[in-house]
Amino acid sequence: MAYQILASLCTACGACEFECPNKAIRIKNDIYFVKPEKCTECVGHFDTPQCVAICPIEGACIQA
Amino acid sequence: MNQRVIALDSLLNTGVTKRKGCAASGCGGAADGPDDMAPEVWAKVRDHPCYSEGAHHYFARMHVAVAPACNIQCHYCNRKYDCANESRPGVVSERLTPEQAARKVLAVAAAVPQLSVLGVAGPGDALHDFTRTFETFTLVARTLPDLKLCLSTNGLALPDHVAAITALNIDHVTITINVVDPEVGTRIYPWIFFRNRRWTGLEASRILLERQMEGLERLVAAGVLVKVNSVMIPGVNDEHLKAVNAAVKQRGAFLHNIMPLISDPAHGTHFGLSGQRGPTPAELKELQDALAGGASLMRHCRQCRADAVGLLGEDRGQEFRLDQLSATTQTADPAPRLEYRAMVAEARADRRRAAKAAAVRLAPLADVLPRRVAVCTKGGGRINQHFGHAREFQVYEVDRTGVRFIGHRRADNYCGGGFGQDENLEAIIAALAGIDTVLAAKIGACPRSRLAEAGIAVIQTYAHEYIETSLSALFASGLAPQALAS
Ligand code: SF4
Ligand code: SF4
Ligand code: SF4
């Protein structure tokens, strides 16, 4: 399982990219996305998915 | 190089002629500072437009938008759109990598010798993704070591970075502190992200406040000048800001800047949508007056954007968009800026002499009520702007004890549009509420009679004079504005 970013809601602030412990979040053509094979849902690192906890937009980071 | 300085002089229209016999860096020592400021503090603030009221007439700052991410949520912000409260463009505005930012700074420095300060103020928090902020400063310090560096932060990550801030010689930091009581904080901050989790409610505000105070104390101890920004939110923290002022003053904040909440449903912020209003100019002034004895209040803040370029109140950012920078390497030659600064030191000493002469002239006059006057100025401490070009008015008060700057009133440049000029003039008249006299370098006959009908006299007699000289002469004349205008 992995998280994903809804581009329609994302403001492209990059906060999640900075917090992700697995460098799973990338930007291409100004659009942020999660590389599913890298995302561990933060299990083993933190209690909550970091992208969800830092994201200012409700619902932009969701479970895929 | 000389040519550049002279061209600049005509741009500012200060009328200052460059005198011979002054080495580029030889003059303008601490001796030109105000009588009541320590020389080491003056050395830090004299060229900084945001920290010294006098400097914003002469110097330019630029902000680069390298920090879009933020670690807290404020009810007056939704990050998407340009935010008027936090020197912050929306994240959808031009964003720069540290390398791009450094290139932009070099281009501006080559074109604008007034440039003295580079700041990082968002769009998010300069210290959340601190790597971008510090990388930008490191690159710029290498090519342009004469620029002063500053940053703005909400303070949450500040204690972690005090050492890096001092190592980079960042000598000015702005912290936005809106409350000193976490209970009040819960009405402004819905959540923070700290130590890898999200905190809400009272706990969020308590942590944020503790971190802000720790950061403030440690910066002050390290000799960094700290300005505190507070957003005034009527019914939430307006009265409370007196306690904030006392607390930050006690911890050594150098300046306290109270900014009005700017709230508009179109911005989509929580406050905008919930109908929270901002303060009126009168409410803002009343609070500022009540705090006059606290940490020195800053009355000249223009809430400039995180990608602003230029003198305060002016934004030339659009001229330096990334796609407009040439790929050719720009010169990093500091000589035009050093020469400009030397010239300013001289001009300021001259203005200070004029202000002293004005004070001497005022002292023996009758002790009558102060007179409030708006002036149109492009900088240099002179009345040198055409009324129709003024985007803001600086308001001064004069009585026998002296000439005091008390704030500015914004007005949209009514000459610019070509349409809606009448409405704009009405907006200017509204912005000038309570003021019956305006000093301008020039004004057209039409707007002049419209303003006269509204009871506002626009006087051109003092064109290109120093503000202090003009206001003392005006006050000494004792004449009613209408008599002076005719
Ligand atoms: S859930 Fe964790 S690992 Fe996955 S993208 Fe978000 S921050 Fe990265
Ligand atoms: S934190 Fe949220 S808004 Fe910001 S880039 Fe990530 S998904 Fe987009
Ligand atoms: S600290 Fe600044 S960028 Fe962050 S939420 Fe508050 S206003 Fe917005």
Q: What is the pLDDT of residues A7-19, one digit of tens each?
A: 999 988 899 999 9
- CATH number of the structural domain spanning residue B415: 3.30.420.130
- How many folded domains does chain A comprise? 1
Asked if residue B152 is part of any domain, the answer here is: yes
Q: Is A19 on the interface with B (CB under 8 A)?
A: yes
Q: Is B194 on the interface with A (CB under 8 A)?
A: no
Between B77 and B140, name the one with better pLDDT.
B140
**Cβ pair A14:B129 closer than 8 A:** yes
> Which residue range(s) make up the domain with B85?
33-324
B110 and B45 in one domain?
yes
Instruction: State the DSSP H helix or E strand holding residue B73, giving kind and residue range, or none if neither.
Output: strand B72-73
- CATH number of the structural domain spanning residue B279: 3.20.20.70
Whole-model pTM over 0.80: no
B362 and B286 in one domain?
no
Ligand 2: residues with CB < 6 A are A 5, 10-16, 32, 51, 54-57, 60-61
What tens digit of pLDDT does each residue of B406-460 get? 887 876 544 444 444 566 788 888 888 888 899 999 999 888 999 999 999 999 9
The pLDDT score that the predictor gives to residue A3 is 96
Q: How far is the CA of B206 from the centre of ligand 1 (A)?
A: 27
The residues pairing with B229 across neighbouring beta strands, listed in sequence order, are: B176, B257
Average pLDDT over every residue of B391-402: 86
The first and second tokens of residue B336, run together, are 């035009």
The first and second tokens of residue B209, run together, are 């406040």
B317-345 burial: b if 16+ Cβ within 10 Å, else e: beebeeeeeeeeebeeebebbbbbbbbbb
Chain A to chain B, count of Cβ pairs less than 8 Å apart?
51
The first and second tokens of residue B446, run together, are 């039409």
Q: How far is A8 from chain B (nearest CA, A)?
A: 12
Q: How far is B129 from chain A (nearest CA, A)?
A: 6
Asked if residue B23 is part of any domain, the answer here is: no
The whole-angstrom separation of Cα A20 and Cα B196 is: 10
Between B43 and B36, name the one with better pLDDT.
B43
Picking from B294, B86, B277, the residue whose alpha carbon sits closest to that of residue B180 is: B294
B385 and B255 in one domain?
no
Give the number of other Cβ atoms within 10 Å of residue B397's Cβ.
18
Asked if residue B26 is part of any domain, the answer here is: no
Give the number of other Cβ atoms within 10 Å of residue B67's Cβ.
31
Q: Is residue B7 within 8 Å of B1, Cβ to Cβ?
A: no
Picking from B181, B200, B183, B159, the residue whose alpha carbon sits closest to that of residue B72 is: B200
Q: What is the pLDDT confidence band of residue B35, given thresholds at 50, 70 and 90?
A: low
Domain boundary among B324, B349, B382: B324
What tens digit of pLDDT does each residue of B461-478 get? 899 888 988 998 888 887
Q: How far is B267 from chain A (nearest CA, A)?
A: 14
The pLDDT score that the predictor gives to residue B94 is 63
- CATH number of the structural domain spanning residue A33: 3.30.70.20
| Stated length of chain B | 486
B277 and B163 in one domain?
yes
B339 and B303 in one domain?
no
What tens digit of pLDDT does each residue of B306-358 get? 455 555 455 565 566 666 665 545 667 787 778 777 777 777 777 778 888 88
The first and second tokens of residue B438, run together, are 């305006």
Q: Is A22 on the interface with B (CB under 8 A)?
A: no
The whole-angstrom separation of Cα B194 and Cα B261 is: 26
B411 and B373 in one domain?
yes
Asked if residue B5 is part of any domain, the answer here is: no
**Cβ pair B68:A48 closer than 8 A:** no
Q: What is the pLDDT confidence band of residue B254, given thresholds at 50, 70 and 90?
A: confident
Domain boundary among B274, B304, B324: B324
Q: Does pLDDT of B223 surpass 70? A: yes
Asked if residue B278 is part of any domain, the answer here is: yes
B349 and B280 in one domain?
no
Asked if residue B12 is part of any domain, the answer here is: no
B291 and B312 in one domain?
yes
- How many folded domains does chain B comprise? 2
The pLDDT score that the predictor gives to residue B12 is 37
B247 and B339 in one domain?
no
| ipTM of predicted assembly, 2 dp | 0.92
**Cβ pair A14:B198 closer than 8 A:** no
Q: Is B80 on the interface with A (CB under 8 A)?
A: yes
Cα B331–B64–B226 angle (5° rounding)? 110
The torsion angles phi and psi of B245, rounded to 5 degrees, stand at -60, -45
> Which residue range(s) make up the domain with A35?
3-63
- Strand-pair category, B191-194 with B197-200: antiparallel
Asked if residue B2 is part of any domain, the answer here is: no
Asked if residue B24 is part of any domain, the answer here is: no
Q: How far is the CA of A51 from the centre of ligand 1 (A)?
A: 6
